[in-house]
Amino acid sequence: MSTTVFTFMESPFGRLLLSGVRPAEGGPAALATVTAPGQKYALAEPADDWVHDPDALAEPVAQLTAYFAGRRTTFDLPLAPAGTDFRQKIWAALDDIPYGETVTYGQLAALAGATPQAVRAVGGAVGANPLLIVRPCHRVVGANGALTGFAAGVDRKRWLLDLESGALF
């Protein structure tokens, strides 16, 4: 039986909450969530049955730290986000958006193999992305290029895009 583990890390957004699924035999956890303070639709604190285990999530913390410092452009982590098959497909398509680039919701729908009529559902899936930053939902913009919704706030979305464009370094 697996265990849900958690840790916190400091970031430019404040204290992030990371959770993961640790296998019964122990070892590193597969990352399940990354949550920023004040993020919509996400836990602000660990659930009562989660176990504090910073060692199990040391690699995600290291990779996020390197990303925020401008030294990492991709993540190489085992992931375990919970969601419907449709959401899983949309979240996986987020991984195909190159660092420093953006796509529209319509383009993301096409990347995921969804019809153009699914744009609203794609937007809902992007908004429910449990792996903030790691699965780069911040790289999805409106059809006109506007910085539309981001569960952690549009100012944070702008900061992430500025980081990736090199504007912060």
The pLDDT of residue 156 is 95
N-to-C CA span, the chain: 44
Position 48 pLDDT exceeds 90:
yes
The mean per-residue pLDDT over the stretch 127-148 comes to: 93
- Candidates 102, 77, 76, 80; CA nearest to 91 is 80
Enumerate the active-site residues.
137
88 pLDDT tier (thresholds 50, 70, 90)? very high
Position 64 pLDDT exceeds 90:
yes
Position 1 pLDDT exceeds 80:
no
The mean per-residue pLDDT over the stretch 42-53 comes to: 93
The pLDDT of residue 169 is 64
**Residue written as token pair 């890390």:** 9
Position 26 pLDDT exceeds 90:
no
Is the pTM value of this prediction over 0.85? yes
- Asked if residues 122 and 112 have their Cβ atoms less than 8 Å apart, the reply is yes
The pLDDT of residue 126 is 94
Position 60 pLDDT exceeds 80:
yes
Position 131 pLDDT exceeds 90:
yes
The mean per-residue pLDDT over the stretch 38-60 comes to: 93
Q: Which of 25-34, 64-73, 109-118, 136-145 tops mean pLDDT?
A: 64-73
